Structure 1
Amino acid sequence: MGVPVGPATGRGSVGRASVVGAARPKAVPGASGPGRKKKRISKRRRRVYAALIMVCLMMLGAITVAGSWFFESVPAPEDLAFGESTTFTYSGSDTPIAGYGEYTRKLVDDYGDLPDSVVWSLLALEDKDFFEHEGVDYKGTMRALINNIKGGDTQGASTISQQYAGMVSDIRGDISYGRKAKEAVMAMKLEQEYSKKDILLHYLNLNFYGRGTYGIAAASEVWFGTKVEELSWAQGMMLVMQVKAGDGSFDPRVAGEESTAPSARWTHGMETLLTMTEDISEEDRAIIQEQLDAGMPETLETLKNPGSWGHDTTTGFITNPTDGYVWAELESRWGLDKKQFYGHDAGTGGYTVVLTIDPVIQAAASATASRGHLKVMEDEDGNFLNADGEKVENRADAEVYKNDKGYFEFENTNDEAALFNYNTAMTTGLVAIEPKTGAVLGYYGGEDGTGIDKSGPESPHPASSTFKMVTAATALTQGASIDSWWNADSPREFESLGDVNDGKLRNGQQSDPEVDMTLADAVINSKNTPMYAIADKYGASTVLSQAVDMGLTTLSKSDSYTYLNGEEANGANVTYSFVNKPGEGENTYSRHGVMLDENGDYVTDSNGAIDYWAAIDSFENADGEPINNDGVVDRLVTESPRYPADNQIGFGQYPVSVRDMAAIYATIANDGVYVETHYVAKLLDRNGNEVPPERELYQEKTMDVGMARDLQYIGGFIGEGPADQRPFFGKTGTWEADGYEAECRNDPDTTDVAEQCEKYPEAYSAHAWYTGAIPQLSVATWVGNATSESDPIYNDQGSPEGVAGGNTSAPVWQKFMDDVIGQKEYERTEWGQPTHVGNPILDDILNEDGTIDADSEYCIANPTDTKCKRETPPASEDCPPIWEAMNLCTPEDDGRGNGRGDDD
């Protein structure tokens, strides 16, 4: 909404109201108007009424209060403590990027901006004698006082001056006998301090008009999309009849078609205008009659809260009022809930939330990841169409387009996007975190922050091989070193797999049955079997706990649970939410998912939609209170070595968020120290003063510095890194597509998917990751299908063959990182030297008798190790050169059947 601009003369501007000295009454065409002679009440009678009011106050023991109110000045709107909306800004910027609040407030500066249609409509409904009385309806106030004292229904009988006094005193909701008398005293004082025009202007500025608007100027734009000075008689009447109906009882779109209250009130007001022949000209009354005959004016359709805005952007996932991440942080660290930011009550709201988001980095994230908006349905002429194929005016009302495979597609309008030349059904998630502070500096989960967040916990993705850094960190914290050796056979049998895949696990599609390698090489070469072995050895829950320590907050998996109506949910998707409070005991978690209530109905969220984050478990603390109220169930993550995650966590089978992977790698980049991931840089009150948090950010040393530097060292061999060849570390990740081919399963002629459709080849990939860091910035990037988590993605030639993290997601990471490095001019910083901390254990490659196959990679690299032995050493012609040099080979047979053994 813009600021109304009036004609060159006779108009002011719309903004905050300013109080000026008494002004002359406004001239009204065809009548003397407010300048005509007042019908004055005699001084004697006035004194009698005032005395009676004061006697009543004394009878109520309130003379002290009344006296103090009489001598206190009545404030103008700009002097009042309003509830105010909250503003969000980028880090280091004063420019608002979003707002949250109950209303839009917009005030008129000058009485001259108020049209006759507003002034006389208000007086017709509320106070026809406003320009004639002296602020108090003495008879009405006495009648109300006596009636209320007798115990009858509380009554109002307020003039506009008394109503204004009530509003500024915050007592408008209570019209009991005591407060009604106080209003009368204040109204008398008000009439002494301000002119009639000022009182009327302040009154119209201060009132609430519904639809989130305070002030007649805001109401005119939100209700009718017009400037206040351009309101017709019909529109002016519609607005002023809302001044005592903040509940929407006179709003036709809120009250509903069956309610006659809005039309009855409006008609009464318009007919009253026609009787005001001394105040309104014959010409204007003719216009009023014409508009009355035409019926109530149409208002704009929207009833959305205009006090909240800016959440349908890339940063909306952080700020949106429904599930934005900032709210939990503000409550956890500052002890303030949404209500205190909303500005509903006087003295609340007015905060400025300075986000950690860096505008330069955020712009780079959007430039790298955005592919524009999703395509919507259109006809041949470019008209938007809804789900029924009908034309609609607004793009937001159009049906989202799906192709023959059932995929959403992007408009692909950003030629700077890393995926610009890729299939338009593919999308990107990207999160950038500052390692030393835990601050989220850049966030891209999609274009619309009120939609699905591809970087957040509501849309997690299998972490795949990027999680192997966590598994390696677990091995190091459990005493192993990056020089420890592990069996990387593919396939490899594991007893813990049971009947799954015949008890065998592969390294992707590889078949290499005799492979041993160091932990460092297992991560660099992205082998699955050693990672499963680490989880099997130390416990999957130990790996999970290590991940939580490093920054993991959620993990999804299929699970079973019981609905509130007793039915069983088998194989349902469950999100585990973890809480890590360093120094406050073990990590805990709670389970969330779709729930049915006692009646078998879906549990819904605050918007009435199915709540996919409903609490599953119902536990009670020592006081009998459900712990789910604060989202935490007091269970140890390490209660079982294979629960809640199984050993497949070692190679990243479970879906996690892009944000959490950026946090985990930030911990490694920060030499093993986790700093709580956060979005709020600071909080300012309405006066611009910083509000100190109740607690500092959580920090935890999750591993020794040497271990972190060993992981940095390993990751430095994976990927190409930034273009300027500065030190970095990272890890690729790829997860396969699964299920039946989309084009077939979505074909209307398909009646049996399993019979008629083919499954995707095992070589197709559905997810591609690259997560990595430089000392100043940790960045996680993910590429996948915008619609389906199981369908394949494609290379830049449009083929699903050969797609992997290294050739699909890594370029996204590199483009973004190069852009940020260039704009932020980060100093080139070296990692610390690797320390090879821990023990180079060999447990995973030992035979049952404690020996190691002599032809293994380990024994070739360590031929003098006494564990490397054969019953019969190899003949010279088959002996490796290094063995021959050490005189470990069997001499050639000389025909006598003997040869040199180990004891010769």
Structure 2
Amino acid sequence: MSPHSVNPHSGPPHQGGPAVPGGPGDHGGAPGNVGRASVVGAVRKTMPLGKKPKSKSKKRMSMRRRRVYAALIMAVLMMLGAGTVAGATYFENVPEPKDLAYGESTTITLADGTPVAGYGEYTRKLVDDYEEIPDEVVWSLLALEDKNFFEHDGVDWKGTTRALVNNVTGGDTQGASTITQQYAGMVEDIRGDISYGRKAKEAIMAMKMEQDYSKEEILTHYLNLNFYGRGAYGIAAASEVWFGEKVKDLDWGQAMMLVMQVKAGDGSFDPRVAGEDSTAPQDRWDYGMNELKKMGHIDQAEIDAGMPETEESLENPGTWGNNTPTGFLTNPTDGYIWDELYSRYGLTQNDFYGKDEDTGGYTVELTINSKVQDAAEDTASRGDLKRQEEDGVLVDDNGDPVEEEADAAEYENEDGYYEFKNDNENAALYKQNPSMANAVVAVEPGTGRVLGYYGGENGLGVDKAGLENPHPPSSTFKMITAATAVKNNASIDSWWNSDSPREFDSLEDFEDNAIENAGTDENTDRTLTDAVRDSRNTPMYAIAEKYGATAILQTAIDMGLRTLTQTEDGEPVTYKFYRADDGTITYSRHGVRELDDGTFETLDNGNINPMASLDGYEDDEVTPKTTELDLESKNSPFYYHIGFGQYPTTVKDMATVYATIAADGVYNETHFVEKVYDRDGNEYPEQRPLEQTQALTTEIARNLQYVGSTIDGDGGAIDRPYTGKTGTWEAAEEFSPANAHTWYVGAIPQLSIATWVGNATAESAPLLNPEGSIDGVFGSTLSYPVWKQFMEGSIDAMGYDSQAWGEAAHVGSPITDDIENEDGTIDPSSPYCAANPTDTRCGVPGGDGGGNGNGGDENCTPIQEMLDLCEQGGGDGDGDGGGGNGNGNGNGNGGNDDDD
């Protein structure tokens, strides 16, 4: 189980045990929303924190009596020389819990509330309400620290007196402290003071608190303020850090493990810190659990279940969870959510960090569905990359031994390629070559929610699904090109020249002035539908040349594409696109930016920023400068090769594009954040709504659904209507004729999934089959099986019903200008003419009205003609048909050269 994943054992329901009147047994334990108190030590007096005790077995002491006792104790202590300040001064200057102010860390959860990451200096989380604290926590704490908490008036008079006597006679100077006294000590930060005067001060403060706060409030304050080790402040933070659980889901054993840390900040009761040789954690846990049994709250079964396993300790307890697949979304350096949170909510990372007073404390709820995410990881994960070892010892790039696996060099096989551990037998690529990497993204049509995301095992590594590692989308992009053609009134029944190789006028200045269809030489033509289904490049280039590369780019952006990369001056430059409400499209350019002094723009951590704004920034020094897309230019900033998917983009963007197709042409802004809650559990308002536009007409989208309805791969089609497209892209010339990238992007009405497969070593490295050769590796053989497994797993997990696509007539015109000769005719041997034999442009063979007859015998009588005695011959015909028919009339019956 990965750090901070959900423990499948949520524990038994609240047992409560015998209820102390007004005590924990009286509350229902129902969780609140996802709220957090505004300060570490304070839950405001006006908040409903459960019921105050209705009755006591002993009457509460009167105020006068408490003051008498306090004065007596103070007098004794002062006579002993331990106190120097009058008790009245203590009493008047007790800091109230509401005056304590701290920042809190932010928790990031899946859509179902499962915590997956944290962000902050420390993990500091609070519970808003006493009702959120389960009985398991309350009674475990009281069993260890203060069994009579709901009975006394804040000061254990007998215990304090006994401690005083013991102190005077030379015994233990610590003495007894109630939870209220302990809390008072924490408020004053005097827990390290072992003087006699400390006890007096705690007693006075405890009495002051008992006047102003209910028992439930004091207990809530105490649990919120305590440090539980592992960088966790507050019981809510501790439950996440130690067990990956919400407080409400803790069982008895887990609750006891946490509360026994309240006086053990040094980790002496932490089994991962104390070490295997220490019995202290087990002894303390056993003691607490047996006390619970004596009190009647648990039976022997809870004890026999044993001390619970905890999560591994975190190097940074405040910021965690980023070394998992969802870490690509949450990591503070380039996680997707941070730009989105600023764009949609106006909140910066500093607002979430919680270092400053009254900051942080947010809960960010992701769109990621736990079931779909599980299916994504189960399908795509091949484990970590293998690491280099020498004699069984991990070593770094220099061959020096290292302790941590992450510090070791990646293992390279004899061919120089990385390999995965391949320890997930459920992975779709389990039987494939161990160097093959894959990435998957699932987007929900109609909402734009990202439901599943896998770009790799470690969110702090290279994201194969995202912006830092884009891939040429190859033939999956042809759906966008087809959409552009239909938008310009060319239907999916239009015909296009599929010759390969094929020269184009726009390539005259290029070293290679021809486009080829991968793996085939042909001299033929196809409908737009078949050109897409058969993955032909030359028709796509022709469409780009006819309507403009910029027109295709505009269509792609309308459908959800937000990034595209090309090489400029030998360096990769990534374009980010922005679409305004009025349809205006702008872009910013990103890459490694050299400054005037010869240095390079860096990130906060000192590393070179690979995504610096190449055109500089606006006055705020944060917002990249943008340029408006010139829709009048046919090929700027990208050339006509865009038509067949040459320029790299992200797996996420392609999933979005096909989600738009599946949603009948409606683009919904792709997003990872579902909701944001503030520290009080209130939903934080958006500053702008999510974008939603009709990118394509319903008819065009449904035409595209039809085009992709028969394209599948190895293993056959899924058992319901779908639309999709394979894609394959060649490797670098040094590996020719190998392929380097394969894709399958496809959707059902409820879900769009994009899958990519490539070599883990480099973008240019070749794809390999299980035997290590380059044969038989295509989108249909590698990426489609990944897509199919992920899609079927998601369908099962989500219970999606089978839904049919909507029907629509083929819109646009079945134009043929790309296959026509200069004189307007069409090759009669073409597939078009075979399909349309009556089209007069197909040039039915014939002469110029004949002329091969001799004109016949002008004096031939009807009887001679009947007896076949006349000389036969035809005159010069007046058409473009076959030769004269020899009937002697000279008209030659010319061939059909008109439309009729």
Please give the TM-score of this superposition, normalised by the length of structure 1: 0.67
Q: Distance in 2 between matches of 1:631 and 1:188?
A: 59
Match of 2:668 among 654, 672, 675: 675
User: CA distance change for structure 1 residues 765 and 39 in 2, over 3 Å: closer, same or farther?
Assistant: closer
- Work out which of the residue numbers 525, 533, 536 in structure 2 matches 1:527: 536
CA distance in 2, matches of 1:209, 1:420: 42
Give distance in 2, aligned partners of 1:76 and 1:543. Answer: 62
Matched, 1:725 2:768: no
Residue of structure 2 in register with 1:554 after alignment: 563
Equivalent residue for 1:694?
687
Deviations 1:293-349 (A, max 9, x none): xxxxxxxxx995311111111111111111111111111112211111112233322
1:495 maps onto 2:505 in alignment: yes
Q: Which residue number in structure 1 is paired with residue 601 of structure 2? A: 603
1:87 aligned partner: 107
Counterpart check, 1:844 vs 2:849: no
- Check conservation: 1:555, 1:656, Cα contact below 8 A: yes
Evaluate the alpha carbon distance shift between residue 640 and residue 619 of structure 1 in structure 2; reply closer, same or farther with a 3 A threshold.
farther
In structure 2, do the counterparts of structure 1 residues 393 and 217 end up closer, same or farther at CA, with 3 Å as the change threshold?
farther
Contact 2:667 2:695 in 1 (8 A): yes
Give SS of 1:363's match.
helix
Q: Cα–Cα, structure 1 residues 38 and 637, in superposed 2: closer, same or farther, change >3 Å?
A: farther
Report the CA distance shift for 1:608/1:870 in structure 2 as closer, same or farther (over 3 A).
same
* Counterpart Cα distance in 2 of 1:774 and 1:539: 30
What are the superposed Cα offsets for residues 436-458 of structure 1, whole Å, 9 maximum, x if unpaired? 11110111100001111000011
1:888 Cα shift? 11
Aligned to 2:445: 435
Given that 1:18 and 1:109 are in contact with CA atoms closer than 8 Å, whether structure 2 keeps it comes out as no
Match of 1:447 in 2: 457
Give how far 1:215 is off: 8.5
Of 80, 99, 120, 1:37 maps to 80
Query: Is 2:728 aligned against 1:734?
Result: yes
C-alpha distance 334-898 of structure 1, shift in aligned 2 (>3 A) = same
Measure, in 1, the Cα distance between the counterparts of 2:234 and 2:79.
Answer: 29
Give per-residue Cα distances to partners, 1:375-427, cap 9 Å, x unaligned. Answer: 112233x3333334343333233222122333221000011111111111111
* Contact 1:435-1:666 at 8 Å conserved across structures: yes
| Equivalent position amino acid for 1:334 in 2 | Y
**Which amino acid counterpart does residue 529 of structure 2 have in structure 1?**
A
SS in 2 for 1:328: helix
Deviation string for 1:857-879 (max 9, x for gaps)?
22332233333336736999xxx
Q: Which of residues 771, 777, 783 is equivalent to 1:803?
A: 777
2:491 counterpart residue number: 481
SS in 2 for 1:589: strand
Give, in whole Å, the separation in 2 of the partners of 1:346 and 1:574.
41
Label 1:834 to 1:130 Cα distance change in 2 as closer, same or farther (>3 A): same
Change (3 A) 1:899 1:789: farther
2:639 is aligned with what amino acid?
D
C-alpha separation in 1, matches of 2:402 and 2:101? 43
Instruction: Name the amino acid aligned to 1:725.
Output: D
Name the CA distance, whole Å, in 2 between partners of 1:607 and 1:587. 33
1:645 to 635, 638, 648: 638
Which residue of the partner structure matches residue 420 of structure 2? 410
CA distance in 2, matches of 1:724, 1:857: 31
Flag the 1:303–1:97 CA change in 2: closer, same or farther, 3 A.
closer
Counterpart in 2 of 1:572? 571
**Aligned-pair CA distance for 1:584:** 3.1
Q: Residues 479, 215 of structure 1: CA spacing in aligned structure 2 closer, same or farther, 3 A cutoff?
A: closer
SS at match of 1:591: strand
Unpaired stretches in structure 2, ≥5 consecutive residues:
5-39, 44-52, 54-59, 68-75, 127-139, 147-172, 176-182, 191-200, 243-257, 270-312, 851-878
TM-aligned CA deviation for residue 590 of structure 1: 0.3
Residues 902 and 458 of structure 1, relative CA distance in 2, 3 Å threshold: same
Q: 1:204 to 1:651 in 2, by over 3 A?
A: closer
| Separation in 1, partners of 2:118, 2:896 | 84
Relative to structure 2, which stretch is displaced further, 889-898 or 303-312?
A: 889-898
Is 2:387 the counterpart of 1:344?
A: no
**Residues 323 and 460 in structure 2, CA contact (< 8 A), matched pair in contact too:** yes
Q: Deviations over 1:198-220 (max 9, x none)?
A: 99x9999969999966589999x
CA contact (8 A) 1:217 1:228 kept: no
- What is the number of residues matched between the two proteins? 688
Task: Name the CA shift for 1:846/1:106 in 2 (closer, same or farther; >3 Å).
Answer: closer
Letter of the structure 2 residue corresponding to residue 546 of structure 1: T
1:353 counterpart SS class: strand
2:316 is matched with 305
Is 2:729 aligned against 1:714? no
- Cα separation, 2, equivalents of 1:681 and 1:17: 30
- Among 753, 769, 775, which residue is 1:779 paired with? 753
Determine whether 1:833 maps to 2:876.
Answer: no
- Per the TM alignment, residue 775 of structure 1 is displaced from its structure 2 partner at its CA by 0.4
Contact 1:723 1:818 in 2 (8 A): no
Give, in whole Å, the separation in 2 of the partners of 1:723 and 1:81. Answer: 59
Matched-pair contact (CA < 8 Å) for 1:707–1:835 = no
Match of 1:618 among 602, 616, 619: 616
Structure 1 residue 81 displacement after superposition: 4.8
Partners of 1:306 and 1:416 lie apart in 2 by: 32
Residue type matched to 2:81 in 1? K
Aligned-partner residue type, residue 85 of structure 1:
S
Cα distance in 1 between the residues matched to 2:509 and 2:687? 52
Shift of 1:696: 1.6
Q: Which residue of 1 aligns with 2:97?
A: 76
- In the alignment, the residues of structure 2 paired with residue 110 and residue 385 of structure 1 have an alpha-carbon distance, to the nearest angstrom, of 50
Q: Hey, what does 1:257 align to over in structure 2?
A: none
Of residues 122, 131, 140, the one that matches 1:103 is: 122
* CA spacing shift, 1:386–1:855, aligned 2, 3 Å: closer
- C-alpha change, 1:868 and 1:202, in structure 2 (3 Å) is closer
Task: Give, in whole Å, the separation in 2 of the partners of 1:888 and 1:712.
Answer: 44
* CA-atom RMSD in angstroms: 4.7
Within a 5 Å distance, the mapping from 1:108-187 to structure 2 comes to none
Q: Residue 831 of structure 2 aligns to which amino acid in structure 1?
A: E
Q: 1: CA distance between counterparts of 2:185 and 2:739?
A: 72
In structure 2, C-alpha distance between the alignment counterparts of 1:709 and 1:697, rounded to whole Å: 24
Residue in 2 that maps onto 1:66: none
Per the alignment, in what secondary structure is the counterpart of residue 392 of structure 1?
coil
8 Å contact from structure 2 (residues 91, 208) kept in 1: no
Residues 766, 774 of structure 2: 8 Å contact kept: yes
CA distance in 2, matches of 1:232, 1:517: 74
- Residues 235-269 of structure 1: CA distance to partner in whole angstroms, max 9, x if unpaired? 9xxxxxxxxxxxxxxxxxxxxxxxxxxxxxxxxxx
Other structure's SS at 2:440 match: strand
1:553-602 per-position Cα deviation (integer Å, ceiling 9, x unaligned): 1111001xxxxxxxxxx221100011123x23411100000112222122
Task: From 793, 801, 819, give the equivalent of 2:767.
Answer: 793
1:510 paired to 2:525: no
Q: 1:97: how far off? A: 1.4
Q: State the partner residue of 1:631.
A: 624
1:588 partner SS: strand
- Relative distance call for 1:668 and 1:433 in structure 2 (3 A) is same
Tell me if the contact between 1:165 and 1:190 (Cα under 8 Å) persists in the aligned partners: no
- Which residue identity is paired with 2:604? S
Match of 1:193 in 2: 208
Superposition map of 1:9-20 within 5 A:
none
Return closer, same or farther for 1:400/1:693 CA change in 2, 3 Å cut-off: same
